[in-house]
Amino acid sequence: MRWNKVQLAFTYIVLAVWSAVVMFPIWTLIVNSLKPQKEIFKDPFGLPKTFTFDGYKAAWSDGRFDLYFTNTLIVTFISLILILLIGSMAAYALAKWESPVSSFLYVFFIAGLMIPIRLGTLDLVRLIKALNLQDTYWSLIPVYVAMGMPIATFVLTAFIKELPGEMFEAAKIDGASELQVYSRIVLPLMRPALATVAIFNMIKIWNDFWFPLVFIRAEEARTVALGVSLLFGQYRTDWTRALAVLSLAAVPMLLLYIVLAREFIKGLTAGAVKG
């Protein structure tokens, strides 16, 4: 009994220390976004002596953060919807289609996890120019969908393979088509795995800097990551405004995780770990 209490206390201590390590950068980011720039350099880790919201006001009005935020939200939302829709349909087909061709296609999808998509940047630039999408945020959506398909196919295929086959056979005996089985049975059961895929891909899409930098020059099409980079000058940086923008940019990620946390954990244990 005493040994169990010692183990439990040790576990809580480790978790508390790890939580402090994880929360420290977030704490530093938020408190410094509320300080004047001189105070940031004097005491970067303490509470603000003089609270100021000038960084948030400047970011939203002068820095056009509202435009960058809207562009990023549109790109992320459409990309995630397409990744989840196409990825779930591909995973259902690969999980239920027993053929050497399906095995080859599955390996083809999984290969995307090992080959960075940035290696094809030059070809992607040519493709975007051919489609006349350069300098628009629409150029990012097909790239992000392609970038998210490997992890979506991997997680969702493993999840579907764990579902009992008798359930699909019973639905087909009752006269359900493949589309009805997919939409009425598979999709509702895949919510934990879909939440896992959504969180993994949203982090990459929301924070991506490379492809907006390569594809976009027009200010009206810039994303948050590209807009934040413009705040860091060669000789001078407005750290209050930069940290305020970074704080605002982190809000959607935190909200998504809070909303999908339970489904995310279920997806990790039921889909991504098995198989």
What pLDDT sits at residue 140? 92
pTM of structure: 0.79
Q: How many CB atoms lie within 10 A of CB 75?
A: 25
What pLDDT sits at residue 236? 63
| Cα 109 versus chain centre, distance | 19
Higher pLDDT pick, 142 / 251 = 142
How much is the mean pLDDT over the chain? Answer: 81
SS3 176: coil
What pLDDT sits at residue 272? 42
**Each residue's pLDDT tens digit, 2-46:** 767 778 888 889 989 988 888 888 888 888 888 887 777 777 777
What pLDDT sits at residue 174? 76
Residue 243 scores a pLDDT above 50: yes
The torsion angle over the Cα atoms of residues 30, 33, 34 and 39, rounded to 10 degrees, is 120
Residues 227-262 as b or e (16 or more Cβ within 10 Å = b): bbeebeeeeeebbbbbbbbbbbbeebeeebeeebee
What pLDDT sits at residue 258? 76
SS3 268: helix
* Highest mean predicted confidence (pLDDT) among 50-59, 72-81, 163-172: 72-81
Domain architecture of the chain: domains with CATH: 1-52 (no CATH), 64-272 (1.10.3720.10)
What pLDDT sits at residue 261? 67
Contacts (Cβ under 8 Å, ≥6 apart) of 44:
28, 32
Residue 69 scores a pLDDT above 50: yes
Eight-state DSSP code of residue 237: B
Could you tell me the end-to-end alpha-carbon distance of the chain, in angstroms, rounded to an integer? Answer: 37
Q: Considering the chain, what percentage of its residues have pLDDT values greater than 70? A: 89
- Report, as an integer, the average pLDDT of 150-177: 82
Residues in the chain: 275
For residue 274, name the pLDDT band (cuts at 50, 70, 90).
Answer: very low
Lowest mean pLDDT among 23-37, 190-204, 217-231, 249-263: 249-263
Lowest mean pLDDT among 95-99, 154-158, 214-218, 231-235: 231-235
Residue 273 scores a pLDDT above 50: no
- Report, as an integer, the average pLDDT of 52-66: 74
Say which amino acid occupies 251.
Answer: V
Give the span between the Cα atoms of 155 and 236, in whole angstroms: 45
What pLDDT sits at residue 271? 43
DSSP letters along 243-264, please? HHHHHHHHHHHHHHHHHHHHHH
What pLDDT sits at residue 76? 92
